Structure 1
Amino acid sequence: MSYSVLIKGGNVLRGRKFERIDIGIKKDKIADLGDFSGENADLVVDATGKYISPGFIDLTNHSDTHWTLFSQPKQESLLRQGITTILGGNCGASIAPLVRASDIEGIHKWADVTQINTNWRTVEEFFEELSKHPIGVNFATLVGHGTLRRGILGDDARNLTRKEIEEIKFMLKDSLEEGAFGLSTSLAAAHAKFATDAELKELFAIVAEYNGLAKHHLKDEGRNILPAIAEIIGISRESGARTQISHFKILGKSSWNIFPEAINLIETARQEGAKVTLDFFPYTKTGSLLYMLLPPWIIEGGRAKILGSLKDPKMRRETSDYLKSLTLHYDKVIVASTFKDATSVGKTIQELAMSSGLDPEEIIMELLEINELQVSIFNEAISEDNLHKLIAKEYVLVSSDGVGYDLKAKMPFDLPHPRSFGAFPRALQIFTKESDDIKFEDILHKFTQEPAYSLGFKDRGRIEKGFFADLAILDLEKVKSTPDYTASRQEVEGIDWVFVNGKAAVKNGVMSGELGGRIIKRA
């Protein structure tokens, strides 16, 4: 047989074990597995001494809502760490369906919507437009619950009427029919705070009916995480929906001791039949929106109320008092991105306060006002010990919670979180090379076959004849994640080759420029 690519001499991941076998690729698929020592091809890769894995699948990714799927379509920061497929539409926000073109305003927190034109309304139309743009990685999407609500309510934040719930149910069903893989929710977001359990159960029941996935950003990831977990478990159990808690973590040192109770709550629910899983990113600093530190009674009113409150002297005093009560370590809170004020990026809140003579709380409010709430931060708030405990759980997956970037893109207003460049290699490094938390083959299983199963992929996530040729070739001895919080754009080491649908996107550790990504639709 004539092959386009032959990969010879490598240790190939088959299920949860490695097998010394050659891989023959023809066009976009794995054509054969065997001994091809005497065969030739257009491209022959010597993988002797290296490990070959299915391409990594990132179930919590935000390249769509940060718009880099369009503006930086190579998605090099993801490819260089072995990611070949991403799931968008996370944390309650997606870029389809849109009832009105103006509904794209829902991603204003992460992207400059004044520079965005949309020519789609439905998921199907969005896919049609995206198909005209070559992309580096495979892309699948969920439907954002907040996006559905915005389509009905605009900027209003309130309970839905019975008629309005029926309207978003209709939109969700249409989107699933058109290829979306499920629903995402974020009850911490302004639009979703008014969602009732009854509303969510009805939507989750639709996801269950379509055998889709419901992904959930917890309402509280700190001191009140237990009721937040109990809430989503209840909704999952009653609806029957397979549910994954996104970027699971417990924020704040004073709350870390809740970890055993949180895990017990989840594991008890699983033992009782609840279909609940988790994913997490392997870092101790969060990447989050600065405005989420504000008092809940201000956030609940939505963007206009937040900005209005920041102009009111009485509300500013109350906000300042609330922020002080959080006892934040301002020397560890780094400004990661802004909308207008690039001079603040990379500096801590404490540094900005000292240079201006203002209190840290005033700095936070000033930053939010100047940048129209579009400020993100890095904050040291996660227990490393808890990360090591999570990876050992069989129902826990790894994700980046990041964004795909082109490596040479200039972004003076944005210091990306290193997870966007090195989450998966870092997980390999700290959980398998620097500790014995998990076997190498088992963590790769969490990167590949398990997320593929979660999405119902029938022809990705494993190295089998007839499967799409999404592959990563690793030099385990060299695998290292070098990106950090001050220099996140450094490239990882040890990910030598990456294939997407049979195209070599990374060759010998260097980006090739080939864009092999495709849209993946729910079958």
Structure 2
Amino acid sequence: MKTTKLAILAILIFSCSTKPKYDVLILNGTIYDGSGGKPYQADIGISGDRIVEIGKLDRKSSEEVIDATGMAVSPGFIDMHTHLEPIMELPMMESMLRQGVTFALGGPDGGGPWPFGEYLDSLESFPLGINVGYLTGHNSIRKEVMGMEDRKPSPEELEKMESMVSSAMDAGAFGISTGLKYLPGTFSEVEEVIALSKKAAEKGGIYTSHLREEGLGLLAAVREAVSISKEADIPVVLTHHKAIGVKMWGASKLTLAIVDSARSQGLNILIDQYPYAASHTGISVLIPSWALEGNKFAERVQDPALKDSIKSGIVFNILNDRGGSDLRRIQFSKVEWQPDLEGKTLHDWALESGLEPSVENGAELVIKAQLNGGTGTIFHAMDEQDVENIMKHPVTMIGSDGRLSKPGDGHPHPRAYGTFPRVLGVYVREKKLIPLETAIYKMTGLSAKSLGLKNRGEIAVGKIADITIFDPGKVIDQATFSDPHQYPLGIEYVIVNGIPAVESQALTGKTSGKVIRKNRQ
């Protein structure tokens, strides 16, 4: 019997009606859209990498359905300050992905990759768990042109560095980062930084800065950053903003007043922050910069007079800066030459060495550590009230300052695993410091706007489907300073470019992250 035209038409209609309308359908969730506005109940339909519909969609068909009953549905979190150096060994970026992060900004503190474009080109061949973008680093560029020399650049050298910044911007950099506390950036004068920042500004970039000082010189360093914003006409982010050292506790009130004053004059000054009262960097931060210039530290400590000056500078920094005036506040995170020190403090090391745990003996051990290749170090030298003051400020975003980590490797700062869930669990739910919609805005919409991420950081039709779904009553960090290798709780689903990467707190194994370039979105 021949099939009639009417029967064929019926079959086609039936086939079309049964074809799933969406690739992913999120039902029954409470949507926090990333704007800072009040949440609302709705379903979300995703096709490909885009949000295509928001509304009452429970009768629509989908390849995959996520029941988000009782959960918050947020844009994927944007990490404004990340150390992605191990990315080619850890392309899944699980320590960040499990926090709900879908975009991470690398190349901070002046340490961006070089050659910039070649690095991003090579990274595109890796199966990335989340999206990444990069800043170009002042320290990397200066070192390439001038080595570790403590001097002004010649006109030719400055021109070369300016050209390198422009080249990186053309290759997709989101801006320029500086690490003016670190070598060789600490040797630069503000005029050099302004000249390079102008090149980033010409192509829509931002400037982020590990300030020249975060301890006793903090206020002057914030004012320097403001002057760079004004002279280079560039948005400035005071990155991982903090007040270091007992003598500076409470100084956040003054730094935030400087930010407010600058913004009232039309300058675009922003902040990012991690939610911990402890920082992390190399132990060399306790050593006077001049002692490290030209990689001649080992030679200088052989000279008794120079060694006395170096030791005196370290003692000063232990008492007044990151040392927090107590050897117990200086904790080792990574010690390749003596791994048994990881997790222990400078106080512990002194006792194990048969030394009185005095500041002077601590300084001797800092010298020993540097001669052996240095250490990764956690400095418990901040005040919780400053952390809270900074977090409440309306232009503060969230950045982990975490390094990509995997369980069992060293003793990292817990921020590597817990930054975003800690904000949600501790500062929103437990302390009620800020409302949930405000916290999410600081993690998503505000960050996307500052970076010029036009299609991310917001839940809206047409936007890219980077989405994090979490339980607001359970979300919490588990990583601690004594036991850091612990993933958070309550981050139930993470969707990257429309593809679920985390489902029911477990990795799916799908890698849909991309290298995002500022001027090629």
* Same fold per superposition (TM over 0.5): yes
What is the 5 A alignment of 1:264-283?
A: 264-283=257-276
Aligned match of 2:366 in 360, 364, 367? 364
SS at match of 1:4: strand
Aligned match of 2:423 in 427, 432, 443? 427
Question: Identity percentage over the alignment?
Answer: 30
Residue identity matched to 1:292 = V
SS at match of 1:420: helix
How far apart, CA to CA, are the structure 1 residues paired with 2:91 and 2:306? 42
SS at match of 2:208: strand
SS at match of 1:431: helix
Can you give the 5+ residue segments of structure 1 that lack an aligned partner in the other structure?
A: 98-122
Aligned match of 2:94 in 69, 76, 80? 76
Residue 40 (structure 1) shift: 2.4
Residue 317 (structure 1) shift: 2.9
Residue 157 (structure 1) shift: 3.6
Report which of the two structures shows the higher radius of gyration computed on alpha carbons: 2
Residue 186 (structure 1) shift: 1.3
1:305 aligns with 2:296: yes
Contact 1:284 1:380 in 2 (8 A): yes
Q: Which residue of 2 aligns with 1:52?
A: 73
Residue identity matched to 1:344 = L
How far apart, CA to CA, are the structure 1 residues paired with 2:123 and 2:197? 27
How far apart, CA to CA, are the structure 2 residues paired with 1:511 and 1:308? 50
Contact 1:182 1:207 in 2 (8 A): yes
How far apart, CA to CA, are the structure 1 residues paired with 2:473 and 2:299? 55
1:30 aligns with 2:32: no
Contact 1:86 1:140 in 2 (8 A): yes
Aligned match of 1:4 in 23, 32, 39? 23
Instruction: Give the TM-score of the pair, scaled to structure 1.
Output: 0.90
Q: Which residue of 2 aligns with 1:174?
A: 167
CA deviation map 1:180-238 (0-9, x unaligned) = 11100111112112222221111122222212111111010001111111111111111
1:377 aligns with 2:377: yes
Contact 1:392 1:437 in 2 (8 A): yes
CA deviation map 1:67-108 (0-9, x unaligned) = 3211111111111111110011111011122xxxxxxxxxxx
SS at match of 1:9: strand
SS at match of 2:336: coil
1:13 aligns with 2:9: no
Residue identity matched to 2:278 = K
1:214 aligns with 2:211: no
Contact 2:229 2:269 in 1 (8 A): yes
Deviates more, 1:219-228 or 1:34-43: 34-43
What is the 5 A alignment of 1:116-135?
A: 123-135=116-128
SS at match of 1:17: coil
Consecutive aligned runs of 4 or more in structure 1 exceeding 6 Å deviation: none
Deviates more, 1:196-205 or 1:210-219: 196-205
What is the 5 A alignment of 1:233-248?
A: 233-248=226-241
Contact 1:157 1:190 in 2 (8 A): no
Q: Which residue of 2 aligns with 1:490?
A: 486
How far apart, CA to CA, are the structure 2 residues paired with 1:155 and 1:319? 18
Deviates more, 1:196-205 or 1:73-82: 196-205
Q: CA RMSD, aligned part only?
A: 1.5
Residue identity matched to 1:510 = A
Aligned match of 1:323 in 314, 328, 337? 314
Aligned match of 2:152 in 143, 155, 159? 159
How far apart, CA to CA, are the structure 2 residues paired with 1:197 and 1:335? 33
Residue 43 (structure 1) shift: 1.2
Q: Which residue of 1 aligns with 2:453?
A: 457
Residue 306 (structure 1) shift: 2.2
How far apart, CA to CA, are the structure 2 residues paired with 1:82 and 1:131? 22
SS at match of 1:206: helix
Residue 289 (structure 1) shift: 1.2
How far apart, CA to CA, are the structure 2 residues paired with 1:321 and 1:171? 38
Residue 484 (structure 1) shift: 0.4
Contact 2:197 2:234 in 1 (8 A): yes
CA deviation map 1:129-170 (0-9, x unaligned) = 111111111010010001111111234342100111111111
